[in-house]
Chain A
Amino acid sequence: MLTTADKSSQEAFTGAFGIIQSQPDERTSVVALEGELDLGRAPSLKWALVDSVDAGYKQLVVDLTRVRFMDSTALSVLVGVNRSLDDDARLSIVCVNNNVLKIFELSGMDGVFAIFPTLDEALAHVQGNTARVG
């Protein structure tokens, strides 16, 4: 279990922010974020995901359940990681926050990512696909 806590100095208006990485199984990595995903925090998300990909995890889940806000920078990180994935790798997103969902919709990315309201659905999505592929 690798845990990284990132306290940014921009808490004045963004509040606390944290990243928790967990590995339910040897092929799956879940990156759970909390707080606001903006210009200052996007790099944290990027490195967490890149580390997981480099470590060989093929099933990635980004849990945005506790994220209150996400800007275009974080969106570009997700897009970049999604595009860099191998064919047998999968990325799904857990999101229920309307602000964040609106960002996905406005940017036209809601059709690109598999977005689910719960972590279980997201895990089932990545694992089910993987099982089918394997």
Chain B
Amino acid sequence: MASQATQPPRGQRAAQRATAAIAAGCCILALASLPTAQAAKNTATSMPTAAGETTSASKGKRAERAMQAERSATAPVAPPGLPVLAEPPVSGRGKNGRATAPTPGPPQAAGHGQASGRAPALNKLDREKPDAHARRQAEGAHRSATSSTQSQAALASGAESTQGVDALARKQKKGGGQKKEKTKEKAEKTKEKAKKPTAPTPVSAGGSKGKQASIVSPQLTTTDPSADSSTTPSAAVGTGSASITSVAPTAAKAGATSARVRRAAHRPRRRTGSRATAAATLAPAIRSAPLAPTAKNGARPSVVRKVVKRARPGAPQPAIVKTLTRIVGVVPTPVRILIAALIALALALAVRSRASGVRARRLMRQRGQLLEDVGLLQAALLPVPPPRLGPVGTSVAYRPADGPGAGGDFYDVFGLDDGRLAVIVGDVSGHGREALPHTALVRFTVRAYLEAGLSPHEALQTAGNVLEHQLAGSFATVVAAIYHPRERTLTYASAGHPPPLVLGDAGAGVEAGATATALTLTTACSAPPLGAGMRTGTRQTVVSVPGPAWLCFHTDGVTEARVGQDLFGSWRLSVALGQLGRDATATALLDSVAERTTARPDDMAACLLRVQDGAGAPTIAHELLELDGAMIAGGRAERFLRESGMAAAAAASVLDAARAELDRRDCVPLELTVGDGPPRAVLGQDNVIHRPALTAVSAS
């Protein structure tokens, strides 16, 4: 900063920068010096000393030689420092004045001499003259150190400049609160002297210098009656420098209270000291300092103290503000607008980014919660059974649909008494969330009946009665099964659901053999789904599993997956299961199905039981069917009997007997025992399937 400042201004901007920087520095220095100065504030007489100290400090080495002289000389030097008060505001405004003033100033003032050349003169004063000039003053003047004498001395020294005079006058007022009268006199003298140079000032008022010069004259004029309050107006008149402003009020106040004046004077002096420091070293910059004050400050008829107060707290700011102001000042208007727009855009984007970030976090939280909920729901509908229940290995799997299907499939595997194992696999019509409540309802209802000891077809029939109204229009296909390990039998009943795939071990690993050993189960006379408005649980099948085998329960999503234009079907399923071998699991099976199919429009669920030990292929051991008139009339009963391996004649005789029985009651249970020979059919004498209960429920 110092180096910059000491060099003569290369251009306006440079000068501005330097000035501003220096001014800021001055302010800081002034602030820093405040405490000291305040501490030193004792009496009016002590003031010069304090000022002298600061001045000497500012002048540094140069000042050493004339320490004594300086004490007296500080007075004249000090006044220029007063403007420092107003320096901060100036920076922005005084560009022209500062930059142009130094150069044109002297020529303009040529006619007048030093009046308009104040600034340069000041500089000189600051740099060299203060010492010399002060010395001279000190020598010439009396050691009384009164500002009046100083001013006289200053004047005597050749009326170096109006400013000098002005400053002197100010100093007199400030320093001499007690010597008001004297000051007045001196001021009058000064005024007379000053008037001379003042006169030409207006003429030279072409530049900003002129302004100052013109200001000076009125001020001086008004300064004469320093005690008068009219001082302020004069200051107001001027485009005013702070120095004037501060001085004028000071004088006014001085008239009122000496103490106050003293106080007020302190500050200016302090400033003076600090400014002097800067002035001594950084002359070019200082040159503009006097121009600094804004019209506002100058115009304000407030007390110096006020100004000082304002300046003090503001002192740290100007450095920043000035820097910014300077930067802004350099930037062209369009660029400023552009920058403003960019800043606004950046702010808007920042706000938006922030908002979206918050929203994203919220959504992530919600997603986590939803996934958790879904996980809980799935756990309720799709439990994970132990890998082994007694001698039977178990595994389950679920694979959502590709498309919009999803939902509705359920399964359950659990143990019963006597080491038996129960399996439930089902599918509720409808998809999505509305299917979930029904899914849980059906699953737990059927499970409860199985756990209560009902056989699969009894459980389904009872569930059908109970759930008919609760399913509210939708229906559920379910297969319920119980595996008895000791008897090695699988008893299952279906309500509109595909029967399980029973695959003997002999076919495992051999594609052709797999299909051969897959047990073909009769599908004729299947019971309708739960909730379809019809009696269900009308059929039950017992499969004997003497040797190792796979019992695969699945939903229709598996067999109805697509392979090109075809359905995957139970045949391909048995092949896939056979190729998986002994280590097959439900998950592996569904993965295999997914690999073999081109589209899976529905959910897929599978429950796989692995029966080990023993020997022999699985066979159908027993069939139970509730015959009714419609079955026989529609030919389904006959188809059932024929598919079960009964001869046509035997089937016809059975049906005849059944018709006869149906004359007396609504339905007849037909038990078909399949053994080594032809199946033996027995018509039940009693209605073991609680028909009355169903009728009652249906009627209600």
A binds B: yes
C-alpha gap A101/B495 in the complex (Å) = 17
At the interface with chain B, which of A18-26, A56-64, A70-78, A87-95?
A70-78
Query: Of all chain A residues, which has the CB nearest B556?
Result: A72
C-alpha gap A76/B532 in the complex (Å) = 9
Taking a contact as CB atoms closer than 8 A, the residue among A15, A39, A79, A109 that contacts B601 in the complex is: A39
C-alpha gap A92/B8 in the complex (Å) = 110
The residue in A73, A99, A110 that gathers the most chain B C-beta atoms within 10 A of its C-beta is: A110
User: Which residues 426-467 of B have a CB within 8 angstroms of A?
Assistant: 427, 429-431
Taking a contact as CB atoms closer than 8 A, the residue among A71, A105, A112 that contacts B560 in the complex is: A71
C-alpha gap A14/B99 in the complex (Å) = 88
Tell whether, in the assembled complex, residue B529 and residue A107 are in contact, meaning their CB atoms are under 8 Å apart: yes
Taking a contact as CB atoms closer than 8 A, the residue among B431, B477, B534, B631 that contacts A39 in the complex is: B431
Tell whether, in the assembled complex, residue A68 and residue B565 are in contact, meaning their CB atoms are under 8 Å apart: yes
Q: How many residues of A contact B (CB 8 A)?
A: 27
Give chain A nearest CB distance to B210 CB in angstroms. Answer: 87
Tell whether, in the assembled complex, residue B429 and residue A76 are in contact, meaning their CB atoms are under 8 Å apart: yes
Q: Which residues of A contact B525 (CB under 8 A)?
A: 108, 111
Give chain A nearest CB distance to B438 CB in angstroms. Answer: 12
Tell whether, in the assembled complex, residue B634 and residue A111 are in contact, meaning their CB atoms are under 8 Å apart: yes
Q: How many residues of B contact A (CB 8 A)?
A: 42
Does A102 count as interface, using CB distance less than 8 angstroms?
Answer: yes
Query: Of all chain B residues, which has the CB nearest A77?
Result: B429
Tell whether, in the assembled complex, residue A107 and residue B496 are in contact, meaning their CB atoms are under 8 Å apart: yes
With A68-B565, A72-B429, A76-B475: A108-B598 Cβ-Cβ less than 8 Å? no
User: Which residues 85-134 of A have a CB within 8 angstroms of B?
Assistant: 99, 102, 105-112
Give chain A nearest CB distance to B658 CB in angstroms. Answer: 15
C-alpha gap A111/B632 in the complex (Å) = 10
Does B673 count as interface, using CB distance less than 8 angstroms?
Answer: no
Taking a contact as CB atoms closer than 8 A, the residue among A80, A99, A105, A110 that contacts B473 in the complex is: A80
Tell whether, in the assembled complex, residue A105 and residue B526 are in contact, meaning their CB atoms are under 8 Å apart: yes
C-alpha gap A3/B308 in the complex (Å) = 95
Tell whether, in the assembled complex, residue A13 and residue B528 are in contact, meaning their CB atoms are under 8 Å apart: no
Does A34 count as interface, using CB distance less than 8 angstroms?
Answer: no
Tell whether, in the assembled complex, residue A13 and residue B598 are in contact, meaning their CB atoms are under 8 Å apart: yes
Query: Of all chain A residues, which has the CB nearest B531?
Result: A79
C-alpha gap A13/B402 in the complex (Å) = 13
Tell whether, in the assembled complex, residue A111 and residue B636 are in contact, meaning their CB atoms are under 8 Å apart: yes
Taking a contact as CB atoms closer than 8 A, the residue among A79, A99, A106 that contacts B523 in the complex is: A106
Tell whether, in the assembled complex, residue B496 and residue A106 are in contact, meaning their CB atoms are under 8 Å apart: yes
Tell whether, in the assembled complex, residue B431 and residue A15 are in contact, meaning their CB atoms are under 8 Å apart: no
Tell whether, in the assembled complex, residue A105 and residue B562 are in contact, meaning their CB atoms are under 8 Å apart: no
C-alpha gap A73/B601 in the complex (Å) = 11
C-alpha gap A105/B496 in the complex (Å) = 8
Q: Mark B492-505, 1 if CB is under 8 A from A, else 0.
A: 00111111000000
With A110-B634, A112-B534: A12-B599 Cβ-Cβ less than 8 Å? yes
Tell whether, in the assembled complex, residue B429 and residue A108 are in contact, meaning their CB atoms are under 8 Å apart: no
C-alpha gap A57/B562 in the complex (Å) = 36
17 other contacts beyond A14-B562, A108-B536, with CB at 8 A cut-off?
Answer: A68-B565, A73-B429, A73-B431, A76-B429, A83-B473, A102-B523, A105-B524, A106-B523, A106-B526, A107-B477, A107-B526, A108-B527, A108-B534, A111-B534, A111-B634, A112-B532, A112-B534
Q: Can you report 30 residue pairs joining A to B where beta carbons are below 8 Å apart?
A: A10-B403, A13-B565, A15-B565, A39-B404, A39-B405, A40-B601, A68-B565, A69-B567, A72-B427, A72-B429, A72-B556, A72-B560, A73-B429, A73-B431, A76-B474, A76-B475, A79-B475, A79-B533, A80-B473, A105-B523, A105-B526, A106-B498, A106-B523, A108-B495, A108-B496, A108-B525, A108-B527, A108-B532, A108-B534, A112-B528
Q: Which 6 A-B pairs have the closest CB atoms?
A: A108-B528, A76-B429, A108-B526, A107-B496, A13-B599, A108-B527
Q: Which residues of B contact A (CB under 8 A)?
A: 403-405, 427, 429-431, 473-475, 477, 494-499, 523-529, 532-534, 536, 556, 560, 562, 564-565, 567, 598-599, 601-602, 630-631, 634, 636
Q: Which residues of A contact B (CB under 8 A)?
A: 10, 12-15, 38-40, 68-69, 71-73, 76, 79-80, 83, 99, 102, 105-112
